[in-house]
């Protein structure tokens, strides 16, 4: 089998780690690279000055309303594969320079007066095709949309929050999907009634852009047009809102149309399905006050075991025809009797009932193995507080707390990307599966 990694989908901090480009500081935008438009306002770095992205003859270029100066700066450069490769050669390996010079994935030092934000050579660059991919790491629209909405609601110019009835103060602490609905459906209607047109119109246009980019179908021509409008829109926002409004999330909006051109519709490349899956895993955990990562993965393991058990029965029916002479015909019987049923989900219970019926007529004809197979995995488990494995006695932490000696410490090896790492923990439960 051959597989290819087309891109990754992460929130922005993880994006920075995987890309190997720091999301902090003056060069926080990996797309703009060295040409990221940034300045310091008190203790905050802000990303204003979007005028260089406009056409060279655009009236805003001559306007003194922005910062009292005309702006004839050329457009930010498009950094090609060779440029990036060249930048990466300037990274200095951390530790002993005499060995592992070319190891990817390791932290590197930037030389003094460095003009870029590379922190390491990403592990993905081991893939020979990776550097040629136009879109390697998706900017996640879900998180960007949430951050933009929170910035708008945070009182920058609009004071929208103060327009909300005091009895309904739950406008804050919204989840990502609440922000999605708010941004695309409610905010345009809400601000239209309360704010001055000069302020409400750009926000409504921004909402319209998010709605457009989240559509099921995207046209390249529409995205090119949207990109031009978006740059103009960001310039208008610069005239209305204070510089502190323009954090990196507002700046990243500018790159969304280009990513949509390379990657296609946004709904295929955002984190909603991943977040939903994480919620599903969390639901496996019955004690919400003790949610830890291992619990979630145990939950996933349980889910995988369940799926595998079902498949095991399916597979066994096909393979183990020596258990029962009629086995090889049973798939056809199921399909003939239930033409509209999904075999993957309904076959195991049908098979169980079928064998039970046959056994009720003459049980002696069927082997124990076949009967066990038809009954499927047992749903109950046994829990123990102590067990002996290879001569070593393990005790769960609850019970060990009452003892003077401790036998609940466990160590496990886990594949943490480039290397295998050791993880340590306490034994919380011993479960016997049947
Ligand atoms: Zn940028």
Concatenated DSSP letters of 84-112? HHHHHTTPEESS-TTS-TT-TTSBEEPPT
Indicate whether 183 belongs to any domain.
yes
131 and 4 in one domain?
Answer: yes
Residue whose C-alpha is closest to residue 148's, from 111, 192, 104, 202: 202
213 and 167 in one domain?
Answer: yes
Q: Which residues contact 219 (CB under 8 A, 6 or more apart)?
A: none
- Max CA separation in the chain (angstroms): 96
133 and 23 in one domain?
Answer: yes
194 and 212 in one domain?
Answer: yes
Question: What is the model's pLDDT at position 308?
Answer: 47
Indicate whether 366 belongs to any domain.
yes
120 and 218 in one domain?
Answer: no
396 and 336 in one domain?
Answer: no
Q: 142 C-alpha to center of ligand 1: Å?
A: 18
**Segment (H or E) for 187:** helix 187-194
222 and 180 in one domain?
Answer: yes
Per the document, the length of the chain is 434
189 and 303 in one domain?
Answer: no
118 and 26 in one domain?
Answer: yes
Indicate whether 356 belongs to any domain.
yes
Residue whose C-alpha is closest to residue 384's, from 406, 399, 369, 365: 399
Average pLDDT of the segment spanning 175-182: 76
d(CA 267, CA 257): 13
Indicate whether 278 belongs to any domain.
no
Question: What is the model's pLDDT at position 164?
Answer: 56
Q: Which domain covers residue 354, as residue numbers?
A: 288-375
Indicate whether 401 belongs to any domain.
yes
List strand residue ranges (DSSP E) for 302-408, in order.
382-384, 386-389, 392-395
Calculate the CA dihedral of residues 234, 198, 191, 202 and round it to 10 degrees: -20
Q: 251 C-alpha to center of ligand 1: Å?
A: 6
Q: Which residues contact 180 (CB under 8 A, 6 or more apart)?
A: 142, 145, 146, 214
Average pLDDT of the segment spanning 312-337: 59
Is it the case that residue 257 has pLDDT exceeding 50?
yes
d(CA 279, CA 223): 33
Indicate whether 64 belongs to any domain.
no
Among positive and negative, which fits the CA dihedral 170, 174, 177, 178? positive
159 and 103 in one domain?
Answer: no
Among positive and negative, which fits the CA dihedral 192, 195, 201, 203? negative
Scan for tokens 């038809």, then name that residue.
374
Task: Evaluate if pTM is beyond 0.75.
Answer: no
Question: What is the model's pLDDT at position 187?
Answer: 76
Neighbours of ion ligand 1 (CB under 5 A): 29, 31-32
Q: 136 C-alpha to center of ligand 1: Å?
A: 15
300 and 266 in one domain?
Answer: no
Average pLDDT of the segment spanning 243-271: 91
Scan for tokens 């149309």, then name that residue.
257
Phi-psi bin for 419: left (phi > 0), alpha (psi -120 to 50), beta? beta
Q: For the beta carbon of residue 433, count every other beta carbon within 10 angstroms.
A: 10
Domain boundary among 236, 271, 306: 271
Indicate whether 101 belongs to any domain.
yes
| Region of poorest pLDDT, from 33-42, 117-126, 286-295, 405-414 | 286-295
Q: 158 C-alpha to center of ligand 1: Å?
A: 25
Q: 127 C-alpha to center of ligand 1: Å?
A: 25
Q: Do the beta carbons of residue 88 and residue 118 sit within 8 Å?
A: yes
Indicate whether 167 belongs to any domain.
yes
| Region of poorest pLDDT, from 33-42, 219-228, 256-265, 278-287 | 278-287
305 and 248 in one domain?
Answer: no
Domain count across the chain:
4
Domain boundary among 331, 348, 375: 375
Q: 217 C-alpha to center of ligand 1: Å?
A: 25
């Amino acid at each position: 089998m051959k597989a290819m990694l087309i891109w990754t989908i992460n929130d922005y901090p993880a994006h920075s780690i995987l890309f190997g480009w720091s999301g902090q500081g003056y060069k926080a935008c990996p797309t703009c690279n060295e040409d990221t438009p940034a300045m310091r306002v008190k203790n905050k770095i802000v990303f204003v000055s979007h005028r260089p992205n406009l056409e060279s003859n655009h009236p805003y270029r001559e306007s003194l309303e922005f910062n009292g100066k005309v702006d004839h700066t050329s457009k930010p450069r498009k950094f090609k594969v060779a440029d990036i490769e060249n930048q990466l050669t300037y990274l200095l390996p951390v530790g002993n320079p005499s060995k592992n010079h070319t190891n990817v994935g390791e932290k590197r030092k930037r030389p003094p007066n460095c003009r870029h934000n590379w922190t390491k050579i990403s592990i993905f660059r081991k893939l020979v095709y990776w550097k040629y991919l136009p879109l390697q790491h998706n900017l996640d629209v879900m998180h960007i949309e949430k951050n933009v909405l929170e910035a708008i609601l945070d009182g920058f110019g609009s004071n929208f929050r103060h327009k909300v009835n005091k009895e309904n103060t739950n406008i804050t602490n919204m989840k990502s999907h609440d922000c999605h609905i708010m941004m695309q459906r409610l905010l345009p209607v809400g601000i239209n009634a309360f704010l001055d047109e000069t302020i409400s119109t750009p926000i409504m246009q921004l909402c319209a852009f998010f709605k457009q980019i989240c559509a099921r179908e995207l046209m390249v021509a529409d995205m090119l047009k949207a990109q031009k409008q978006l740059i103009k829109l960001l310039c208008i926002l610069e005239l209305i809102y204070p510089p502190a409004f323009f954090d990196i999330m507002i700046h990243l909006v500018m790159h969304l149309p280009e990513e949509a051109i390379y990657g296609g519709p946004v709904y295929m490349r955002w984190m909603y399905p991943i977040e939903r899956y994480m919620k599903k895993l969390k639901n496996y955990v019955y004690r919400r006050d003790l949610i830890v990562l291992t619990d979630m993965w145990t939950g996933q393991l349980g889910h995988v075991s369940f799926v595998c058990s079902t498949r095991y029965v399916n597979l066994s029916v096909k393979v183990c025809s020596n258990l029962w002479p009629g086995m090889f015909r049973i798939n056809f019987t199921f399909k003939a009797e239930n033409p509209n049923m999904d075999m993957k989900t309904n076959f195991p219970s049908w098979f169980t009932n079928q064998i039970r019926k046959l056994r009720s007529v003459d049980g002696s004809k069927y082997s124990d193995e076949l009967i066990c197979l038809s009954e499927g995995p047992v749903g109950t488990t046994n829990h123990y507080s102590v067990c002996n494995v290879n001569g070593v006695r393990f005790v769960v932490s609850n019970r060990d707390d009452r003892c003077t000696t401790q036998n609940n410490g466990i160590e496990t090896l886990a594949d943490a990307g480039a290397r295998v790492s050791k993880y340590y923990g306490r034994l919380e439960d011993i479960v016997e599966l049947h």
